[in-house]
Every structure is written in structure tokens, then in C-alpha cells.
Amino acid sequence: MSTTYNLGLDFGILNNRLFGSVDLYDTRTSDLLLDRFLPLTSGVGFITENIGKTRNRGVEVALTAVVADKKNFQWNAGITWFANKEEIVELATGANDIANGWFIGQPTQAYYDFEKIGIWQSNEVDEATKYKQAPGDIRVKDQNGDGVIDANNDRIIIGSNRPKWSGNLTSDFKILNFDFSFQVFARIGQKFQYEYASVYDPAGVENSLQHDFWTPENASNDYPRPNASRSRIGTLYFTSLTYEDGSFIKLRGMTLGYTIPEKVLSRFGVSSLRLYVNGRNLLVSSKIKDYDPERGGSLSNPIPRLIVGGINLDF
Amino acid sequence: MFSNNKKIFLIAFLSAILILPACEKQLEEYNPSGLTAEGVYTTPAGFETLVNGAYSYARWWYGKEEGYGLSEMGTDLWLPGVDNRNPEIMLYNNLQSNQAFLESLWGQFYQAINLCNAGINGIQESGLSASLKTVREAELRFLRAFYYWHIVETWGGVHLSTEATVGPQTTANRSGVDAFYQLIFDDLNVAVANLPNTSTDYGRATKPAAEAFLARMHLTRGNYRQASDLAQKVISSYGLSLQAKYGDLWSMSNLKKRGSFGRQLLCGSEQQRPGQLPPTLAGTPAAGITAISCSQ
């Protein structure tokens, strides 16, 4: 059950050359129904239960401007921007539920794990030994500094796949018979588990991807030392390799078109003819190389870059 | 302005308008997937599915990679191949509790235990005849002992419960190994007392099976006199005998004989009889159990 408070403002100024809206909302949901995992010793893996209350607060802004509106030059531009904060306000169990990844004050999806700070290097043997590790192993942060890495005290909330904000910028031009438009999209502040990292196989059993792994000669801080007798799951803190900042900004679409003047067309019995080239997902900027983070971490079904040429013809 | 009374009347009137028409017809729900334990396990046919289901979990140890993973891979009978996917099981190299085989068996065994608990505690409401109640309860106790034995030998003194789970259970207890074996002996004593010598249903637990299992438990706990007596009794009293050679247990011509719960415990017999192992177990070398016998 949800209750929403919404405060909205719609406006248009400068003869409606600039118009837009601002929305503020606060949604409180109670009796949120989710699958709750239980210890397997009960013989019941999970139950679907009202797990608690959540709150979603956010702001949505939309602005559209008619920058130019002449006979031979038209230009419209638009911006939308939205930010949402999701948090668990109350849990039916009263306390944070680590097994299910539910933490008060965090979204219903949160990554709770050890924080990787690098790979133990050859000159850190002494310190690594204190943690019963060796050079080439994954080094995680000892959050409470007690000299022991343990699951109760040294895991933290790494982040969530919920973005801090998203935004969209669009622009359309029309100059004489040419038209040109583009769309830029940004999603900032989310994390995800990147499959590229999780396919790293320390045992080297299968063909894999290129990973910069540690060797005594290659002091990498990215991936641990290969070891034929270690599977992924047998590699301590393996999942800590996978968390990536998924923030990105991308040129999602761009179109260039040319409409052939009617004078030319009338001779051929054609009423309108437009030629265009359209590109999708042309440029992506993020911290992850050669990957479109809009996919959310998975390597399967990557987002394609498309370039399409076309003709619009009316008789 | 309305007075308070008038307000209440108005609200009541408006509510009546809103609510009354909605109540004329009841929503008739037909939900074929909404079976509940209370509904199913209180009919004889439903209860039989519980008992059959309780047998089926043995497959996770005796019919799948998980079982021989834990029971054999780490021994020197096996050598890792080039593409060994489970070095932590083969070599016990950094074996963690989240290892896939361990996690899978941990879950399956406790599901089996929960089912046995539900059956043992709910046998009176099963609607079965009195004589069948006794036998089915004995079968479930045999199985509970069987699964708890796998649990305690794999993980040691972990969670022990004789109650069926009804609500969300968020904690596990630690019980000593002795408590496990106490329950195993109690259950097996009931099973030995109440199971029939044979069964016309292929695969059900029988009295000699329970006695052979009990003999093994005595052997495990160092009660050698009881172990020996019971084992001798199983060999001599039921027309059973040992295989001439240990390897015959896995002979392709011996697929059914080697399988019965009882026979696995005592190396099989020459005569094939009804009352053997669950079909899911047929044709799989039951590593954990067969090992008992021929050393005696």
C-alpha cells in the first residue's frame, strides 16, 4: 500500500518560449511484499512476506525551450532531470536483515560485501601474512582495523544499483531543408556487478577474457594471482572484484535529415521526400572501458551501436 | 454546519452506500495451486505423498554429483583432471561453507528433515489405518535418522530439530554430536520395532534395513557388541547373505540387489526380493553406505 504526496508546478514564460514543470514527491509504502530468504535449516528456503516500509522521495524537472522559431531556422531544446531516493524505513524483523540485503536507510537492493582495495603486493608479505594471506591475493579493507577480516565487522554497503540521478538533454534543429537532432542521456551514482570481472577464472580452466592479473612480475592491483587449484568460489573475497561504478553519460541518438524541396519533387509526382541518417548509442563515457553500462553489468545481449540510413517517401 | 451526531450519521450513511452493494456477492476463489500442508497431509493419499517425498531426498547424496563430491572426491580414490571445477572439494583447498555442493546438500537435507518432522508429528491426523500409521511413522523415523546421520557426519554438531517448521524460523541451534546420535538411536529403535520384514512396495525401508543401519550406528559409536549382534542377526535371520566379492556390489548384473537400504548396509544378498531401494537410488553406487558392510 502506498501513499504519495506530490507537489507540482507547471509554468510557461516568455510567451511560452520557455516552459516546463517541477514535481516533488514523497511516496511511503507499507506492507511491501517481497521474497524473504530464511536459513535453510528451517527446511523452507524463502517465504513471500510483508517485509516492511519504504519511502521514495524525489524531484522531477522538465524544461523545454523554443530557442529560435524563424522561417528558415528552428531550434527546440529540452532537459529532463530526475532524482529519487529510495530507502527502507522499517523492517518487519526490526533490525537490518543481512541475509536478504535489507538495511534501514538503504534501497531494497543494496550490495553488502567486503571492500576491495587492491592485491597484496610482493613487498607486503609481512602485512599480508597477518591476515593469513599472501602476495597475489585479493586485499580487502579491514574496516574496523582489528587485524582480522571477518564477515560481521568488515563488510560494508558498497552501494546500490539505484542511480542518484538521471538526466536527458534533447535538441532539434531545422535549418533550411536540413534537420538535425540529438539526445544525450546520463545516469549517475549507481553500482552494479560487472560480469566481466566475475568470469575471471583463477584456475584458467576455460577460455576467458583479458584480465590484468597479478604475477610476481606484474604488480597488478586488478585481479588476483592465477592458481590451478583454486576455483572462483574458493578464492577469498572473489565477489569484491565485481562491483563497478555504473555511472555513464551517452549520446543515445542522433539524426541528420534532408528534405528535398517540393519544386524539384512535383515533376516526379512525389509529394515529399526526406533522406536521413540515424545513429543510436553512438558514444558512451563511463569508467568502464569498451562497455555500455546502461546494460547493467551483464555481458550477454550487449547494447548495439546502430547506424541506419533511410528514405521517407510520400506520394 | 453539521452537529457531531449528524456528522456520524452522514458518515455511516455514506459508508453504507459504499459498502453494502459490495457485499452482496462473495468472491468465489478457485485456486488449484493453493494447496496447504494442513489440507494435503490430513488425507491418506496426501500423507502418502509426504512419505514418498521424504524418500526422494536420498537422491541428492546417492544420485548426484554433490553426494559423491563430498564422500569421494577428496579421497585418494580420485585425481583431479585438467578441467577440475571443484578444487576446493578435490583438494580441500580453501573449502568455504558457500561451496556449491555443501550449500545444496545442506538445504536438501534440512528440507528432508522438515518433511520427516511434519510427517512424524502429524501422523495421527493422516487418516491412515492404525496399522499403516505405525509403519509409515517407522519409515519416516528411519529416514530422519538416515538424513541426520549424513548431516552430523558431514557438518558435526549443527542444527537439530524434531519440530516441523510452521512460521518463519530465523535462527539455527547448535546441538552436540551426542544429541544427534541420541535421536538417531531413538528413531531407529522405533523403526526396528515397527517396520515389516519385507514390503511389497519396491524400495521401502524394512526391518532388516533398519537393523543393519542401527548396527552401523552402533559401530560408529563404538558399541561393538550390539553392532556385531545386530549385523549377525540381519545376515542370518532374513535369508540374506553377503556378496562373495565386494566388487560384485557394483556389477551390472546386480543393479537391483545392491540397492536396497538394508542390503546396501550389508553388502547385498544373492536372492532378489521386494522391498528394496527407492527407484531414484537404483543403479547408483551408494558410496556412503556400502562401505560399512564387508569389513565386518
H or E, element range at B288: helix B287-290
Tens of pLDDT, residues A58-102: 999 999 999 888 888 999 999 999 999 999 998 888 888 888 889
Q: Tell whether the model's pLDDT for residue A111 goes beyond 60.
A: yes
Q: Are residues A275 and A179 in the same domain?
A: yes
How far away is chain A from the Cα of B163, in angstroms, using its nearest Cα? 10
pLDDT at position A160 is: 93
The answer to whether residues B266 and B230 touch, using CB atoms and an 8 Å cutoff, is: no
Q: Are residues A66 and A136 in the same domain?
A: no
C-alpha cell at B258: 545392491
- The overall average pLDDT reported for chain A is 91
C-alpha span between B66 and B59 (Å, rounded):
10
pLDDT at position B269 is: 32
pLDDT at position B10 is: 52
How far away is chain B from the Cα of A146, in angstroms, using its nearest Cα? 22
Q: Are residues A172 and A313 in the same domain?
A: yes
Q: Tell whether the model's pLDDT for residue A261 goes beyond 80.
A: yes
- The DSSP bridge pattern shows strands A165-175 and A178-188 to be antiparallel
Where a domain ends, among A90, A108, A126?
A: A108
Mutation for testing the B interface, residue in A50, A113, A149, A233 having most B CBs under 10 Å: A233
Q: Tell whether the model's pLDDT for residue A255 goes beyond 90.
A: yes
pLDDT at position B213 is: 94
- pTM, two decimals, is 0.75
C-alpha span between A213 and A40 (Å, rounded):
36
Q: Are residues A102 and A33 in the same domain?
A: yes
C-alpha span between A51 and A60 (Å, rounded):
28
Residues 172-211 of B with CB under 8 A from A: 172
Nearest CA to B143 out of B168, B118, B173, B112 is that of B112
Residue with cell 515529399: A272
Taking chain B, what is the end-to-end CA distance rounded to the nearest angstrom? 97
Distances (CA, A) of A18 to A166, A174, A175, B169: 21, 18, 21, 59
Q: Is A43 on the interface with B (CB under 8 A)?
A: yes
- Tell me the average confidence (pLDDT) per consecutive run of 10 residues in chain B, 296 residues long: 50 49 66 78 92 92 87 85 81 82 93 94 92 95 96 94 85 92 96 92 88 94 95 88 79 63 40 32 34 28
Q: Check B168 against A228: CB less than 8 A apart.
A: no
The percentage of residues in chain B with a pLDDT greater than 90, rounded to a whole number, is: 44
Residue A304's identity, in one-letter code, is: P
Q: Are residues A279 and A234 in the same domain?
A: no
How far away is chain B from the Cα of A192, in angstroms, using its nearest Cα? 22
C-alpha cell at B4: 457531531
pLDDT at position A2 is: 86
Q: Which of B80, B100, B107 sits opposite A233 (nearest CB)?
A: B100
Helices (H), B75-175: 87-90, 100-122, 130-155
Q: Check B171 against A235: CB less than 8 A apart.
A: no
The percentage of residues in chain A with a pLDDT greater than 90, rounded to a whole number, is: 63
Q: Are residues A213 and A315 in the same domain?
A: no
Q: Are residues A227 and A303 in the same domain?
A: no
Q: Check A43 against B114: CB less than 8 A apart.
A: yes
Q: Is B294 on the interface with A (CB under 8 A)?
A: no
Tens of pLDDT, residues A142-173: 999 888 998 889 999 999 999 999 999 999 99
Q: Are residues A178 and A120 in the same domain?
A: no
Q: Which residues of A touch B164 (CB under 8 A)?
A: 43
Q: Which residues of B touch A48 (CB under 8 A)?
A: none
pLDDT at position B25 is: 65
Q: Are residues A68 and A150 in the same domain?
A: no
Q: Are residues A93 and A181 in the same domain?
A: no
Q: Is A155 on the interface with B (CB under 8 A)?
A: no
C-alpha cell at B248: 560384485
Q: Check A41 against B159: CB less than 8 A apart.
A: yes
> How many contacts (CB atoms, under 8 Å) link A and B?
77
pLDDT at position B85 is: 79
Q: Is B160 on the interface with A (CB under 8 A)?
A: no
Nearest CA to A245 out of A208, A288, A196 is that of A288
Q: Are residues A171 and A143 in the same domain?
A: no
Give chain A's domain count: 3
Q: Is B114 on the interface with A (CB under 8 A)?
A: yes
Q: Is A45 on the interface with B (CB under 8 A)?
A: yes
Q: Tell whether the model's pLDDT for residue A265 goes beyond 90.
A: no
C-alpha span between A160 and A85 (Å, rounded):
11
Q: Which of B99, B107, B117 sits opposite A45 (nearest CB)?
A: B107
How far away is chain A from the Cα of B105, in angstroms, using its nearest Cα? 10
Q: Which residues of B touch A102 (CB under 8 A)?
A: none
A 10 A CB-CB count for A154 gives: 19
Q: Check A40 against B82: CB less than 8 A apart.
A: no
C-alpha cell at A221: 592491483
pLDDT at position B11 is: 53
| Three-state secondary structure readout of B166-208 | CCCCCCCCCCCHHHHHHHHHHHHHHHHHHCCCCCCCCCCCCHH
Taking chain A, what is the end-to-end CA distance rounded to the nearest angstrom? 54
Q: Check A234 against B98: CB less than 8 A apart.
A: no
Q: Which residues of A touch B100 (CB under 8 A)?
A: 233
pLDDT at position B294 is: 28
Residue B21's identity, in one-letter code, is: P
Q: Are residues A169 and A314 in the same domain?
A: yes
C-alpha span between B59 and B195 (Å, rounded):
22
Cross-strand pairs, A288: none
C-alpha cell at B233: 542377526
Mutation for testing the A interface, residue in B66, B91, B110 having most A CBs under 10 Å: B110
Complex prediction ipTM: 0.71
Q: Tell whether the model's pLDDT for residue A272 goes beyond 90.
A: no
The range of the structural domain enclosing residue A225 comes to: 110-160+195-241
